[in-house]
Structure 1
Amino acid sequence: MTTSQIESTPENRPLVAAVEQLQQLTDSLIEAGVLVHDNQGTPQSHQVLVHKFNQVIDQLDNLNTIQGMASYPIPVDIISYIEDGRNPDIYTREFVEVNAKSNARLKGKMENFGKLRDILSQKVVSEFPELKDTVEDIQRRTSGK
């Protein structure tokens, strides 16, 4: 996610700041990886590496102290995904798929209850014509129209 994908509103400022700091942290970790890989074992390369890791530590500390991030809780399931080395986008995709299936099932139930209401209304009106106005009122109030 980039800062351009987040709507810039006052309540989203902490989120924008977190995204920017995460991008900086990611860049620093990549640079640290390159420094470790290319380390020559000299005092200068050791000093550069120590400086880079101190920078990473400072960035982690800054990320932890962003004001207003308490309003954006991270679900424990996502943290578990990350700890297990899995992509949190997979969690999001699975969550959306489960909700889509659940919504489709609930929509089917609602449609079937509507059909049951209509059939039952027809039967009640055919057996008890004096209840026609009451049945039509119930249908009108429960049809969602």
Structure 2
Amino acid sequence: MTTGTLEPTPSNEPLIKAAENVSNLIESFIELGVLVHDNQGTPQSNQATINKLNQLIIQLKDTNENSVKSLTDFPVPIDVISYIEDGRNPDIYTREFIEVNAKSNARLKGKMKGFKQLRDVLGDKLKQEFPGLSDNVDNIIKRTDMNDESINGN
């Protein structure tokens, strides 16, 4: 599972720029790794490595300066940062977050249906035992009816 690409909009332009900068940084680190691995120890190869390292330092500086200014409107949950620091994929956090919320929503839906059934059964029994309270019971049922089809199971 990989992170999808963003649709360019004016509101997420800084985020797209930051993603491009990080992508360029990764590419530069790979190129530096190749240069270090293939370094022959000659002055030319040493100079190429130094040039690439200086270029990488400039890229890191630019990315840091631009990101601090432009990404303050995009808060990142601490849990996502922890996932990344632990070397885990942040998409896993997103998937787990959605799964936990889906389970919680299902549990709450079940509770709401249970209380609705309890209300209806209790209301019917109260109307049978105390016919004089029928209007009050109907009023309570009407006021507590959610009128939400998703709760009713549709």
Normalized against structure 2, the TM-score is what? 0.79
Aligned residue number for residue 27 of structure 1: 27
Cα gap change, 1:10 to 1:129, in 2 (>3 Å) = farther
Deviation for aligned residue 1:98? 1.6
Deviation for aligned residue 1:128? 2.5
Tell me how many residue pairs correspond in the alignment. 143
**Cα distance in 2 for residues equivalent to 1:31 and 1:44:** 16
Aligned residue number for residue 77 of structure 1: 79
Percent identity over paired residues: 57
**Cα distance in 2 for residues equivalent to 1:38 and 1:105:** 58
Alignment of 1:100-139 (within 5 A): 100-139=102-141
In structure 1, stretches of 5+ residues that fail to align are none
CA deviation map 1:59-102 (0-9, x unaligned)? 22222223331111222222222222222222222222222221
Alignment of 1:54-65 (within 5 A): 54-64=54-64, 65=66
Does residue 144 of the first structure (1) align with residue 129 of the second (2)? no
Aligned residue number for residue 44 of structure 1: 44
Higher relative contact order (CA 8 A, sep 6+): 2
Q: Secondary structure at the match of 1:7?
A: coil
Q: Which has the higher helix share?
A: 1
**Amino acid in structure 1 at the alignment position of 2:62:** N
**Amino acid in structure 1 at the alignment position of 2:129:** E
Deviation for aligned residue 1:45? 1.6
**Amino acid in structure 2 at the alignment position of 1:107:** K
**Cα distance in 2 for residues equivalent to 1:140 and 1:7:** 46
Identify the range of structure 1 (47-56 vs 104-113) with the bigger mean alpha-carbon deviation.
Answer: 47-56
Cα gap change, 1:131 to 1:84, in 2 (>3 Å) = same
Q: Secondary structure at the match of 1:79?
A: helix
Aligned residue number for residue 53 of structure 1: 53
Normalized against structure 1, the TM-score is what? 0.83
**Amino acid in structure 1 at the alignment position of 2:104:** S
CA deviation map 1:21-51 (0-9, x unaligned)? 1111121122122222222222222222222
Cα gap change, 1:110 to 1:53, in 2 (>3 Å) = farther
